Amino acid sequence: RYEAAQAAPTLLANDGGRLSPYDPIVQRYADRYGFDWRLIAAQMYQESQFDPRAVSRSGARGLMQLMPSTAQSLGFADLARPDAAIHAGVKYLYELRNDFDAEVPAGERTWFALAAYNLGPQRVERARRLAERLKLDPNRWAGNVETAMLKLARPEHGGLDRRYGQAIIYVRAIQSLYGSYR
């Protein structure tokens, strides 16, 4: 995923049981935007493995792997700074979560927002529409919209975009790590 191969840091920092070197920053912005800070730490690990210098092949940068244009639209310019990168990523996730209609239960919106963070909101909405056509609940993630995304990713079922499968893996990995952090 990254330009240069790097050794992955451990999942848990060795100093005092902290989850990351950035826990105080994560806690501040998670609290400001109404997230469990451990969820944000799990997402940050999934995105950059806590490497503030991480750059993806597509140009996403920093701890939360935002595209510079997305960060600028949120009012952030320097994604190399951990404070700015974390604040921008949490703010973006917050905005994505709030974009889902009130019919999506509050707890489900987080999973939808994580998928949108990875895949884009338009693709998540496409999967919700397919879920509805498949007689699945378009307002529930697990076993519903997630299932529709899987169909959209499989060529044998007419799927054209393998990124849907990657988004499922992304959300599941964050859910798993978040469960461990809790």
Q: Which of 47, 108, 146, 156 is catalytic?
A: 47
Question: Does 108 qualify as catalytic in the annotation?
Answer: no
- Rounded to whole angstroms, what are the CA distances from 125 to 9, 31, 98, 99, 104? 35, 27, 14, 11, 12
Using alpha carbons, select from 162, 163, 145 the residue that is nearest to residue 154: 162
Q: What is the dihedral of CA 40, 45, 50, 56, to 10 degrees?
A: -110
Residues labelled as active-site residues:
47
